[in-house]
Chains A and B, each alone.
Chain A
Amino acid sequence: MPKLTIDDLKKIRDDSRKELYLREGNYRGKVIVHMGTCGIAAGAREIVNALLDEFDKRKLTDIMFTTSGCAGLCSEEPMITVEIEGAAPVLYRE
Chain B
Amino acid sequence: MAEKKRIELMVCTGTGCFAGGAYQIIDELKKELELFGLKEEVTVVATGCNGFCGQGPLMVVLPDNIFYGWLETKDIHHLVEEHFLKGRPVKKLMFIPPEQKEPLPLISDIPFFKKQLLIVLRNKGIIDPEKITDYIARDGYLAISKVLSSMNPIDVVNEILKSGLRGRGGAGFPTGRKWQVASQQSKSPKYLIANCDEGDPGAYMDRSVLESDPHSVIEGMTIAGYAIGSTNGFIYVRTEYPLAIKRMRIAIEQAQEYGLLGKNILGTNFNFEIEIREGSGAFVCGEETSLIHSIEGNIPEPRQRPPFPAQEGLWGCPTVINNVETLANVPVIISRGADWFSNIGTETSKGTKIFSLVGKINNTGLIEVPMGITLREVVYEIGGGIPKDKKFKAVQTGGPSGGCIPAELLDSPIDFESLQKAGSMMGSGGMIVMDEDTCVVDVAKFFIQFTNDESCGKCVSCRDGSDALLEVLTRISNGEGMDGDVEFLTELAESVKDASMCGLGQTLPNPVLSTIRYFKEEYEAHIKEKRCPALVCRNLIEYYIDPNKCVGCLLCIKTCPTEAIKGESKHIHIIDQEKCSKCGQCMEVCPPKISAILKITGKDINNMVQLTELISCKEWKKEHEPAHS
Contact = CB atoms under 8 A, between A and B. Distances in A.
B87 A6 contact: no
Interface of A: 1-6, 9-10, 12-13, 15-17, 19-20, 22-23, 25, 27, 32-37, 40, 48-49, 52-53, 55-56, 64-69
A70 to B, nearest CB: 9
Contacts of B126: 20, 23
A67 B87 contact: yes
B4 A56 contact: yes
B266 interface: yes
A3 B265 CA distance: 8
A6 B266 contact: yes
A3 B145 CA distance: 13
B33 to A, nearest CB: 14
Given A23-B126, A52-B4, A53-B2, A9 B267 contact: no
Nearest to B64: A66
Interface in B116-171: 126-127, 133-134, 136-142, 145, 148-149
Given A1-B258, A9-B142, A12-B136, A22 B3 contact: no
Contacts of B149: 6
Interface of B: 2-8, 10, 41, 62-65, 85-88, 126-127, 133-134, 136-142, 145, 148-149, 257-260, 264, 266-267
Given A12-B136, A22-B62, A53-B4, A35 B85 contact: yes
Given A3-B259, A22-B63, A55-B6, 20 more contacts: A6-B148, A9-B145, A10-B142, A13-B139, A16-B137, A19-B133, A19-B137, A20-B127, A20-B138, A22-B7, A27-B63, A35-B87, A49-B4, A52-B4, A53-B2, A56-B3, A64-B63, A65-B6, A66-B63, A69-B87
6 contacts: A16-B137, A23-B8, A23-B10, A32-B87, A52-B4, A53-B4
Contact of B86 (A2, A17, A32, A67): A67
Nearest to B263: A3
Contact of A9 (B2, B85, B134, B266): B266
B383 to A, nearest CB: 26
Contacts of A6: 145, 148-149, 266-267
Contacts of B63: 22-23, 25, 27, 64, 66
A53 to B, nearest CB: 6
Most buried by A among B4, B137, B264: B137
B267 A5 contact: yes
A31 B148 CA distance: 44
A17 B2 CA distance: 17
A54 B377 CA distance: 47
A16 B134 contact: yes
Contacts of A13: 136-137, 139-140, 142
Contacts of A56: 2-4
Given A12-B136, A35-B86, A4 B259 contact: yes
A64 B63 CA distance: 7
A65 B133 CA distance: 24
A66 B87 contact: yes
Contacts of B134: 16, 19-20
Contacts of B133: 12, 15-16, 19
A69 B88 contact: yes
A17 B266 contact: no
Contacts of A9: 136, 141-142, 145, 266
B255 to A, nearest CB: 10
Nearest to B145: A6
- 5 tightest A-B contacts by CB? A67-B87, A16-B137, A3-B259, A16-B133, A68-B87
